[in-house]
Each structure stands twice: as structure tokens, then as C-alpha cells.
A and B are shown apart, each in its own frame.
Chain A
Amino acid sequence: MENMKVLVVDDEGDFIELFVKRLKKRQIDIIGVESGYRALDILKKEKIDVVLLDVKMPGMDGIDTLREIKTKYPLIEVIMITGHGSVESGLQGMIHGAYDYVLKPFDLEVLLNKLKKAFERKRLKEKA
């Protein structure tokens, strides 16, 4: 997981704050933002490897943001965050090029494993 840089996008500020704190404790370089627009701004400036993206956000929703990201930065891997109410959008995400999805509330270990695998895949694609 060395050198992996993660961006987490979720409109729930409390969630972002807690999540960023927990991942930083595990030495993961992570930024959190609260909307799809902000996410795209960050991507302009920073080199991000994996984006964690909430499906349900006001304004530009998760799927729209995913599309933008995959068009502009095809190498970045995206993992969608779905709630039980929006679990069906997990598949929507996959079809639009997401690497995987997690169901909130999730087990941190499960998510870390997915992050790691997404990162591996990104590195492999970069070499190709």
C-alpha cells in the first residue's frame, strides 16, 4: 500500500472526517471531499490512485462523477460506496467502469483489501 493516494467523496461530512482519520492512522495518504465537483477539482491538482465514491450525493451524483473520472482519468480506479437503499447502483457503478463497490456500513478490513487490490490493478495497467 506504499505510495497509494486515496480520495474519498461523500456528502456526509461526519463520515468523511472519521474515515480520513482512521485511514491516516494506518499510514494511508488520503484526502476527503464532500461533492463530485470538489472531487474533480482535486483530481486536476493531485495524483490520485483510488477514488472512494458515494453513490448518493446531491447535485452531481456518484455515477455522474464516476463517468467524468473515467473519461478524464481512465487509469484511476474507483470503488463505489452504496447504502442499503441504493445497493442496486453497485452494478450501475461496475458497468460504468468502477473497480468494485462496498456496502455501507462496511468492515474496514474488507475495504482496505479492496483498496489494495484496486491499487495493484492500477499499477499493473500503468506498466502496460
Chain B
Amino acid sequence: MRKKLGNIFRIFKKKEHTEEDLEELRLSFKERYHSFKLLLSANNSALEVMGAIDQALQGNNPFGMSFIRASSTAASVSVYKLIKHLNEISNNKYTELFLRFEEIQDSIQKILSQKKTIKDEVMVVPLRSVDRDMYDLVGSKMANIGEIKNKISLKVPPGFVITSCAYNLFIEHNHLQDEIDRRLQSVEADNIEELYTVSSKIQNLIINSKIPQKLEEDIKTSWDELAKEAGKEITVAMRSSAFGEDTEDNSFAGQYRSELNVSFDHIFDAYKEIIASKYSLTAITYRLNKGFKDEDIFMSVGCMVMVDAVCGGVMYSRSPLDINDDSIFINSSWGLPKTVVDGNSDCDLFVVSRKNMEITYRDIKNKKNKFVCYPKEGVCRVDITGENANLQSVSDIDICQLSKLAIKMEDHYLSPQDIEWAINQIGEVFILQCRPLKQMENLKIDYPEDLSNKENLITSGGITICPGVGSGKVVLVKTGADILSFTEGSVLVTNQALPRWASLLNRAKAVITEQGSFAGHFANVAREFRVPSIFGLKGILEKLNNGDIVTVDANAKRIYRGKVEISYNNLGEKKNFMEGSPVYETLREVSRLIVPLNLLDPDSFEFKPLSCKTFHDITRFAHEKSVHEMFEFGKTHNFSEKSSKQLFYKVPMQWWVLNLDDGFKEEVIGKYVHLDNIVSVPMLTIWDGIIAIPWDGPPIDGKGLMSVMFQATTNTSLSVGTRSKYTERNYFMISKNYCSLTSRLGFHFLVVESMISDRTRENYIRFQFKGGAADYNRRVRRVQFVGEVLEKYGFKSEVIKDTIICSLDAQEKDFMLSRLKIIGYITIHTRQLDMIMNGEARINYYRDKLHSDINKILS
């Protein structure tokens, strides 16, 4: 290659080329043409991936680290290719770009390789030495319970924590992380079925791994100490405790596993199962929806001596549903608090006034069963027979005592608390767990007047779990398999409010259950995701069928048939759960190095490699220069055949044409090429579109014009060099079946590229359009407008800030040509439309005009 270029340089010096020289020049040109095509394709993929990143940042769909990694690599590879091909075209004129590229790439890499690390080395710590500052080592849940035990001196069972270091050691010892990543990252996030399979495979992998000997020994030592302290044989409750869980907005309630009443014989198996539950389907989806990095979650496991409870439950130090309600809410059941937490049967509810500790509300349920400890190991659910089922499960005295504890804890943490408690055989009250409680704003609902006597009321009752109104198609969920068939926007109807249904919450419009407690895990997560929910609505399963359309008013606890419009202030609307999360922030940081475009004006002095701050800058620069280099080739090599010609259509036009291969009917001598000498099918089609309907000049709008003037004086890159304001440059590069058009008029920049022939599969049109002089919002509205119009005609469109990329692929020749003609029309007629992009009426006028013009063109 280098040798060949040397030859070419020698060739310049001669005035006349020999036939041999010409052949060599043609070949050299052909290579450049090939590189140019590859460059354009890299340009398109770079812009596409930028569009995808920009789209992800809108935050409407959850994404994980694998999306960020894959997109960053796709962007860097495309940009690398661009630079490489630009240098091939230009005889290595722009190698400086590689340096800029490397710097940007390094910064991206730095962001992506940030990883949370644990500095400590201790494997097991006794609970008596834990406080809330140790959340890194013992996880949030155990840090909180340690704090309660040691700083407020509440009664908490003794225990120890197997730390996050132990977790790391376990994972490293078995070389699990790479394998987990590999499996996890190859699944599509929204393919629940696949996730389900991968989740069980990873869990198996973990369960079949070995616990390092050192860790086994440390756990054994701690166990023996605990048993000695208790002075008898012990069993423990084991609970997951991960970093980042148990915060107000991210409770992770019930997402990980707990094991109750575990003897030493099974402590290691139980440990592995809890670790494995990090990869349960619900936990994976929860993390994804909330933007937690998988690799930053270290699972600690708390082991606390088992409390053989007579009764237990969950209490809230304030109402979770109404920020103005400071009553204490106590849920209680017979036996272990597991009954309340799991949400699979009914339990008692007491509401206590904070002022005088009076019970203001009591709802005593028929409690059909309870969980109890087996003597040696494990727990089981037993039926409650006789009158016990209907008895109040916790005494008024204990309710009062519990309420006081709740207030004490709230005072310590200075925020509302969600507390799990249990009372043992001799009447001691234990605190087993606590976490911040999220309170919701009270909803204001505007009921239509005629709603109260609506005939389509199906039923009413139950308890409000999360306020709000939602409607959709009923999906009855009974088994795990039903999870797979749950579609977006449906209403989840189920018997028990089990934590396993949590993975559906991101897609559910509302939830109705027959049984379940106000304080269960599933209730917590439903509130976190703000899904209107009613629990404990008896008989609903018999009243509804799969596919029924219903409206759930969780405030009034009513279910209507069909879609009923009930408006309320949208505090209850789902928000973007990703924003602010670690994963979201990582993408935002990375995107700052990829997406923004700073190089706007190719005529400005600042338009140079050194000014490229982002991948988008490099992309824009490389594209501009590639066109320039292609057009320069003929001139610098004194090679008329591959020099650009000025288009002659009635008069000489401000349009230039470069014949890449077989785009001219016959060799052009001299300066001009006449339209009838052009045989490039795509170019002629674009031209037809351009001249189809005369352009009636820029739309006039006083303010719009002001906006244009204002931009011109504030945006330096637009105003540097007055000539840039009105320069018009249009470059066609053509062969028989191929055409690329780069056009700049004033502030507008557009690129059309198309290949159309009988080889349908290879056909494509790419249209990229950016800029305009009006303010940013108008520019964005214009590209959205253009995208909207083109999508009607079958194009796919993607908007990145104020740039739009539209594409159409692999359609029949005639269809492609008709669409390319629309593009030709659009290139002229959307010029400066940004000026009128502030009035709905004007926008509608122009939308109608465009569509009617296009219909004319197509007919």
C-alpha cells in the first residue's frame, strides 16, 4: 500500500498520465471508495448506538451493566473503525484522532471498571459488636439489628454474622463470578422464561460449591461460642443481609431467602442456599428494575438464636399509606412472624394512637394456620383448630409494649420504622429485624359523580395495600409457570400475596389478592413500585376470569368491570426507578464521553482532532473529513475522471457530484455534469424528490426568527466566520446503484445514503439530519416531527438529542425508490421548520402539508 502511494506521488509531478498510471489511480481510488463505504457504515453504527444510549437514559426501561458494556464497546469499535478508514482514505492525515480516541476510551474504561471492594478481612463477627456503621461488612439488615441491640439495648436474640468478606472468599474459592457473569449476561433482560432457567442454573452452581475450610472453621467457632453463651443446644434463624437492601426506597423485602430453625448439621447448606438466593428470579428482576449492579451486592448472612414464638408479626411506627397518619400499625399472627411476612394467610391488625397508646382499630381475623418450630430443626405450618383461630393473637398489654418499642426505635433512627417482632413462651418481646419505612403521600382522587351508582361494580372490600387506580386485563396467577405468561399492563389476581410474585410488579397495572397481610414482603414491594393493590378481597378469584378487563380503585377498595376513568393526582404514578441508581449513574457518566456533540461548524477553527471531546465529536469530524478527502482525490492527483463535477440542471447548481464508479453515462470532460448524463438510480430518485414540489421558502414566524438570531449570536461555533451562516454545500457521491448525499445549508446538516438494486436483501436507505438554528427545544421538536412523518412511511427512526437517524432496509426495489423520493422531498422541505416548532396549530398545518405533498409525489 505504502509503495503504491509512493508511486502515486511520483505520478503527480507529471502533467499527463499514462494509461498504466491511470489504471493505478483508478485502483487506488477504488480502495478509497471501499474504505469510504466502510466508514459510512461505521458512522451509522456509531450513531445508532448513541441513539440507544440516549434512549436508555430516558429511563423507561430497565437496563443492566451488560447493556452498558455492550453499548460502550459497540461505540468504541465503530469509532475506531471510522478513524481507521478515514486514515486509509486520506493517506494517514488524521492519526492524531487515535490519540484522542485512546484518551476517551481510557476514561470510559475507568468508569466501567469501578468496583466496590471490601477492605476488611474478618469472616464472622458476633452480633454484640455490630452497629450501623458496619453495613459494608455485615450488610444493611444486620447492621440495623446490631444497632438496635447494642445502641438502644432492645432485646435482640444473640447471634453472629457471616460477613461480606466470607462471601467474597466463597465466590473466589469456587471461581464462581466469571461463570455467573457469563450466564447472566447472555440473557435478554425481558425474557422471563430464559431468566428463569439461568437463575436456577446459577443457584445450582452455588449450592454445589464448596465452602472454604477456613470459613467453615470460623463459623464452627462462632457457633460453639453462641451455644456456650446460651447454655443449651441451639438452633438459629439465618437471614440474608446484603449491601444496599433495607433502605427506604429499596427494601429488597423478601427477595432473598431466610432459613428458620437451622441446626449446626445444616448450617453450611443453609448458608449456600441463602447466597444462591441472590440469583433467584425475583432478586435478579428486582435488581435490574432498580438499577443495582450485580457485582456490588455482597451477601452477608446473619445467624440469630431462634425464638420459639407464641405469636409474632410486623409493626409500622407510622402508616405506610398516608404521611399524615402517625398511628402505629401492628400485624400479628399465632406462631412465628413468618405467617405475616410471607403474606399467605390472614392475620390480625391493630392500630394504636401515638398520643395515648389506645387501640383505635382492631381487626381480628380467622387465622387458619401458623408456623411453628420443629423440636430439632426446621419449621412447619400447622392448622389452627378450635376457637384459637378466632382469638386475638397478641394481648392488649403486649400491643401497648410493642407500640412503645416502635416509638423508641423511631426516635433513635429519626425516621419511621418497619419492625419484625416475636414473643416467646415466657412472654419476652424480641425485635428480629428493622428497616426504614417508606410513607406515601395521601392521594387526592376526583371521582366522577355518577360512579357511586355504577352498575359495573363487581365487588368491594379488602384492605388497601397501595393506593391508586389501575386498569387492565386480568391474569390469574396460581403457579410459578403463570409468571411466564404474565403480560405487560395486566392486573395481577392471585390467592396469596407471596413474595415470589414480586417479579411481576414492574409490569402490573394493579394487584388483587384473596389473602395477605398489610405488612408482608409483597405488600412492601408493591408500595415501592407504586402498583395500586388490594389484599384480602375474599371470593375475587371466583368473580374474575382471565382476560376480563377491570379497573381497580385501591383507595375505595372497589373493583369495576371495564375501564373506568378515575383521575387522581399522579403522586401514585410509577416513576423512573432507574434514575439515581448505581447502574443508571454509570451509564450517565459513560454517555457524557460518548453522546454529546461539541463540534458543530466544520468551517470553524475549532473543528480539529484536538477539539474532539466525545466519540460523537470524532464521528462528526471523521465523517466531514472523509467526504472532503473523497472530493479532493481527483484534484490533488490531477485526475479528472475522479474529480467532482458541478451539477448542471437548467443552470449550474450548488450541488457537486463525484462519480465513484459507474454513476455517469459517459466520461465527463470539464467542469459540469448534466443531469441527463447521470445514471445513478438512487441519485436520480433523490433529485426527483428534491424538485417534485417547489419550496416556498423558509416559514415565517417572528419569534422563530428571533430564536435563530439569538442562537447565532450565542453559539460561538455557529457565528465564528460569518460565511458559515449561509454556506450551502451539497455533495453527491454516486455509482449506478449507490448514492451518498451530504448537505449543509446554513445550520442544517444532513446525510442520505442509499443502495438500491434488484438484490433486495442489500437494499437500504439511511437518513441523518441534525441541527437548525433555533433553540434546542425547537430543534428537538423538529427532528421528532420529521421522525414521526417518516415512520408513517415505513422508516425506523431514532432521535439522539437534536439529531435524527431514519432507516429502511431490505425492501423491494420499487418500494425503496418511492421511499427515497420522499427523503429527497424531505431534505428540502424541512429546512428551517424548527422556526415554527412552537405552535401546535402551525405544526399541524405543516404536518398536513407534508403528508399531502408526499401523497402527491407517491401517486
Find B77's partner among A83, A101, A124 (CB 8 Å cutoff).
A101
Minimal beta-carbon separation of A58 from chain B (angstroms): 13
Do A94 and B70 contact each other (CB < 8 Å), given the known contacts A83-B186, A128-B1? Answer: no
| B182 part of interface (Cβ distance < 8 Å) | yes
Establish whether residues A83 and B81, one from each chain, have CB atoms under 8 Å apart when the complex forms.
Answer: no
CB of B77 within 8 A of CB of A91, answer: yes
Whether A91 pairs with B185 at a CB distance below 8 angstroms is no
Contact A85 B182 (CB under 8 A): yes
A91 and B182 in contact, given A84-B69, A103-B70 (Cβ under 8 angstroms): no
A84 to B65, CA, bound (A): 10
Residues of B within 8 A of A36 (CB): none
| Bound CA–CA A114/B73 (angstroms) | 17
Q: What chain A residues lie within 8 Å of B4 (beta carbons)?
A: 128
For the complex, give the distance between the alpha carbons of A98 and B185 in Å. Answer: 24
CA distance A82 to B77 in the complex (A): 13
Q: Is the CB of A85 within 8 A of B178?
A: yes
Q: How far is the CA of A127 from the CA of B24 in the complex (A)?
A: 11
B109 to A88, Cβ gap below 8 A? yes
In chain A, positions 58-85 with a C-beta closer than 8 Å to chain B are 82-85
Count of interface residues, chain A, beta-carbon cutoff 8 Å:
20
Q: How far is the CA of A100 from the CA of B85 in the complex (A)?
A: 13
B81: which A residues are within 8 A, CB to CB? Answer: 94
Distance in angstroms between the alpha carbons of A87 and B77 in the assembled complex = 11
- Which of A83, A88, A94, A121 is within 8 Å of B182, CB to CB? A83
> Interface centre among A101, A127, A128, by most B CB within 10 Å?
A128
Which chain A residues in 73-128 approach chain B with CB under 8 Å? 82-85, 87-88, 90-91, 94-95, 100-101, 103-105, 117, 121, 124, 127-128
Q: In the complex, which residues of chain B have a beta carbon less than 8 angstroms from the beta carbon of A124?
A: 30-31, 34
Pair count A-B, CB < 8 A: 54
B811: interface (CB < 8 Å): no
Q: Which of B30, B73, B80, B178 contacts A88 (CB 8 A)?
A: B73
* A84-B34 CB under 8 A given contacts A91-B73, A95-B80: no
Report if A84-B1 is in contact (Cβ < 8 Å); known contacts: A104-B186, A124-B34, A128-B27. Answer: no
List B contacts of A88 (CB < 8 A).
69, 72-73, 109, 112
A95 to B81 Cα, complex, angstroms: 9
Inter-subunit contact A90/B186 (CB<8 Å): no
Q: Does B181 contact A (CB under 8 A)?
A: yes
A84 touches B105 (CB 8 A): no
Give A85 to B175 CA distance when docked, in angstroms: 14
A84-B80 contact given A124-B31, A128-B4, CB 8 Å threshold = no
Given the known A-B contacts A121-B34, A128-B27, are A84 and B186 also in contact in the complex, defined by CB atoms under 8 Å?
yes
Contact with A along B17-34 (1 / 0, CB 8 A): 000000000010011001
A84 B178 Cβ-Cβ under 8 A: no
CA distance A103 to B80 in the complex (A): 17
Chain A CB within 8 A of B442 CB: no
A127: chain B residues within 8 A (beta carbon): 27
A62 to chain B, nearest CB (A): 15
How far, in whole Å, are A105 and B31 apart by their CA atoms in the complex? 33
Closest chain-A Cβ to B5's Cβ sits at a distance in Å of 11
Give chain A nearest CB distance to B596 CB in angstroms.
21
**Taking A105-B186, A128-B4 as contacts, is the C-beta distance between A87 and B34 under 8 angstroms?**
no
**Residue of A85, A103, A127 with highest tally of chain B CB at under 10 A:** A85
Q: Which of A87, A95, A104, A128 contacts B73 (CB 8 A)?
A: A87
**Residues on the A chain within 8 Å of B240, using CB:** none
B66 within 8 A of A: yes
B213-248 interface mask toward A, CB cutoff 8 Å, 1 = contact, 0 = none? 000000000000000000000000000000000000
B182:A87 contact, CB within 8 angstroms: no
Whether A91 contacts B186 in the complex (CB less than 8 A), given A84-B69, A121-B34, A128-B27, comes out as no
How near does chain A come to B101, taking the closest CB pair, in angstroms? Answer: 10
The A-contacting residues of B in range 566-616, CB under 8 angstroms, are none
Shortest Cβ distance from residue A105 to the other chain B in the assembled complex, whole angstroms: 6
Interface string of B68-95 (1 = CB under 8 A from A): 0110111011001100100000000000
Cα–Cα, bound, A84→B27 (Å) = 40
* List of B residues within 8 angstroms of A95 by Cβ: 80
The answer to whether B80 touches A83, judged by C-beta atoms less than 8 angstroms apart, is no
10 CB contacts below 8 A, A to B, read A85-B178, A87-B70, A88-B73, A88-B109, A101-B73, A121-B34, A124-B31, A124-B34, A128-B1, A128-B31
Instruction: List the interface of chain A (C-beta within 8 A of B).
Output: 82-85, 87-88, 90-91, 94-95, 100-101, 103-105, 117, 121, 124, 127-128
Q: Other than the known A91-B80, A121-B34, A128-B31, what 12 A-B pairs have Cβ atoms closer than 8 Å? A: A82-B73, A84-B70, A84-B182, A87-B66, A87-B73, A88-B109, A88-B112, A94-B80, A101-B77, A103-B70, A124-B31, A128-B4
